[in-house]
């Protein structure tokens, strides 16, 4: 298995992310459980990954973590500047919206730091790495979106880690209770501890895993719904050597329609896989604002508890009948097309309207006015999903993992 720097960072961050979660016993004691937010999905195929990575990297076992710097062990490596925190406990209010700005971690004793700005690493001079994440904390809920990006892509890293087939972006949503004084959010027997660098810089950390994540208090931004939009990403076959051949591979936006389970394709493009049939780049040029809602199909907009909303999946499908339109009995239609990949990243849109008291219980509760990339979080409570936005000041590219056969990840129907 080829396992490069990007995979190492993705594994160490995504898998280690749960290390700051603590279980509270009946006696009030707190034990670091090392719970992983692994996003396990019973409806996700996770076949072996034999596709080459974009960068030529050495072959190492999957359970060996390599440092992000190509330096001998024990060599002097500049440490990121330490944040000086007063001895006194800093007070702050965790309620509100936060954006991930800094992630510090250690691999085999070598310190490393990623921020929200692209930078290269000595072990991969052609790659540019950054993080994208948001944290939304309320009295009774917590939502967290997280991504480690290489050249702005949420590339598949290693599907043996059951996080959306090794996807390097994930999210979770908790109903629970915030204790501002104790600096803890609890849900059931699990608690997430936090602290403050300043009243407007929140810190999550794990002494055991050796990482620190800093979040700046910052309202989430969106894109205007009327802007001309270009959505681009990559489709990557998880196991190209054993995958069913495509009749005609296409990437598409599939919009959820109200009052039906059949999605609507607004725009699509053919995919052409490169060497080895592993990777294909797609570009979806969304038309300009021909209607009041911009590039959103009129039929995809509906009122949910007082607010006009819309949302779309980003998919790869096999256009078996070569019609140029998605029509599949797998997704409520009658045609022969086969869904081969659904990105965990979708598009969420909030238009005008005044939310009623129940809007805060809908899958669209976190959307801000405008359009935004969202993680379609399937492990949320209540079901079936909550759309959790990423930061749009440095948006990611919504790549699509492609399964060997028909994908089991269903097209969610969230609009009533």
Q: What is the pLDDT of residue 51?
A: 35
Whether residue 45 contacts residue 407, with contact meaning beta carbons closer than 8 Å, is answered with: yes
Structural tokens at position 115: 């921020």
pLDDT tens-digit readout, 14-29: 434 433 444 343 344 4
Distance between CA atoms of residues 94 and 137, nearest Å: 6
Amino acid 49: pLDDT = 30
Q: What average pLDDT does this structure show over 93-116? A: 87
205, exposed or middle or buried, with CB in 10 Å at 0-12, 13-18, 19+? middle
Q: Is residue 284 a contact partner of residue 232, using CB atoms and an 8 Å limit?
A: yes
Predicted local distance difference test score (pLDDT) of residue 260? 86
Which band of pLDDT confidence, cut at 50, 70 and 90, is reported for residue 366? very high
Q: Which residue has the higher pLDDT, 55 or 351?
A: 351
Q: Which residues pair with 388 in a beta bridge?
A: 375
Digit-coded pLDDT (tens) for 258-307? 988 888 888 889 999 887 778 889 998 776 544 444 567 778 899 999 99
**pLDDT single digits (tens) 28-38:** 443 333 333 33
pLDDT attached to residue 316:
94
Q: Using 50, 70 and 90 to split pLDDT, how confident is the model at 61?
A: very low
In this structure, what DSSP letter does residue 89 have?
A: P
pLDDT at 111 over 60: yes
Contacts of residue 390, Cβ cutoff 8 Å, sequence gap at least 6: 132, 133, 134, 145, 147, 169, 345, 372, 373, 374, 375, 396
Cis peptide before 382 (omega within 30 of 0): yes
Q: How far apart are CA 148 and CA 242, in angstroms?
A: 28
What integer pLDDT is reported at residue 6 of this predicted model? 47
Entry pTM: 0.78
CB atoms closer than 10 angstroms to residue 385: 20
Q: For residues 176 and 67, is the Cβ–Cβ distance under 8 A?
A: no
pLDDT band at 107 (very low <50, low <70, confident <90, very high): low
Longest dimension (CA), the chain: 68
pLDDT tens digit string along 87-99?
A: 456 889 999 999 9
Which helix H or strand E contains 6, and what residues bound it? helix 5-10
SS3 226: coil
Question: For residues 26-65, b (16+ Cβ closer than 10 Å) or e, as one string?
Answer: eeeeeeeebebbbbebeebbbeebebebbeebeeeeeeeb
Q: What string of DSSP letters covers 307-320?
A: EEEEEEEEEEEE-T
Residue 195 pLDDT exceeds 60: yes
- The pLDDT value given to residue 20: 42
At residue 248, what are phi and psi to the nearest 5 degrees?
Answer: -155, 105
Considering Cα of 271, then 272, then 274, then 276, what sign does the dihedral take? Answer: positive
Do the Cβ atoms of 263 and 254 come closer than 8 Å? yes
Range 371-379 average pLDDT: 81
Q: What is the mean pLDDT of the chain?
A: 76
Q: What is the pLDDT of residue 314?
A: 93
User: Which tokens in the block code for residue 155?
Assistant: 């590339």
Looking at the predicted structure, is the pLDDT value of residue 359 above 80? yes
Question: Position of tokens 């991504």?
Answer: 147
* Strand, coil or helix: 205: strand
Instruction: Quick: pLDDT tens for 206-240.
Output: 877 788 999 999 999 998 887 667 888 998 888 87
Residue 378 has pLDDT above 70, yes or no: no
């Amino acid at each position: 298995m080829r396992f490069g720097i990007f995979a190492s960072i993705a594994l160490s961050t995504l898998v280690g992310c749960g290390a700051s979660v603590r279980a509270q016993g009946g006696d009030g004691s707190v034990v670091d459980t090392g719970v992983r937010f692994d996003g396990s999905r019973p409806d996700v195929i996770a076949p072996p990954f034999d596709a080459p990575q974009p960068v030529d990297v050495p072959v190492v076992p999957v359970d060996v973590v390599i440092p992000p710097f190509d330096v001998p062990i024990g060599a002097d490596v500049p440490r990121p500047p330490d944040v000086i925190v007063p001895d006194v406990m800093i007070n702050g209010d965790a309620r509100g919206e936060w954006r991930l700005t800094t992630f510090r971690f250690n691999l085999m004793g070598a310190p490393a730091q990623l921020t929200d700005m692209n930078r290269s690493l000595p072990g991969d001079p052609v790659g540019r790495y950054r993080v994208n994440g948001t944290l939304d904390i309320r009295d009774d809920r917590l939502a967290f979106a997280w991504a480690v990006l290489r050249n702005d892509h949420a590339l598949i890293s290693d599907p043996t880690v059951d996080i959306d087939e090794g996807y390097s972006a994930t999210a979770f949503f908790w109903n629970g209770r915030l204790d501002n004084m104790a600096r803890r959010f609890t849900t059931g027997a699990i608690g997430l501890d936090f602290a403050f660098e300043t009243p407007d810089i929140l810190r999550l950390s794990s002494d055991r895993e050796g990482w620190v994540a800093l979040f700046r208090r910052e309202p989430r931004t969106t894109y205007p719904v009327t802007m001309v939009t270009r959505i681009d990403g990559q489709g990557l076959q998880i196991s190209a050597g054993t995958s069913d051949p495509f009749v005609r591979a296409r990437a598409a936006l599939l919009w959820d329609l109200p009052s039906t389970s059949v999605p609507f394709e607004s725009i699509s493009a053919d995919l052409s896989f490169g060497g080895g049939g592993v990777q294909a780049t797609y570009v979806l040029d969304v038309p300009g604002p021909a209607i009041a809602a911009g590039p959103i199909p009129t039929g995809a907009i509906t009122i949910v508890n007082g607010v006009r909303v819309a949302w779309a999946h980003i998919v790869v499908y096999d256009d078996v009948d070569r019609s140029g339109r998605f029509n599949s009995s797998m997704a409520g239609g009658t045609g022969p097309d086969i869904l081969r990949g659904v990105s965990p990243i979708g598009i969420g849109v909030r238009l005008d309207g005044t939310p009623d008291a129940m809007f805060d219980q809908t899958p669209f509760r976190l959307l801000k006015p405008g359009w935004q990339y969202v993680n379609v979080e399937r492990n949320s409570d209540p079901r079936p999903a909550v759309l959790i936005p990423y930061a749009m000041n440095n948006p990611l590219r919504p790549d699509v993992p492609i399964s060997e056969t028909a994908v089991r990840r269903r097209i969610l129907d969230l609009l009533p």
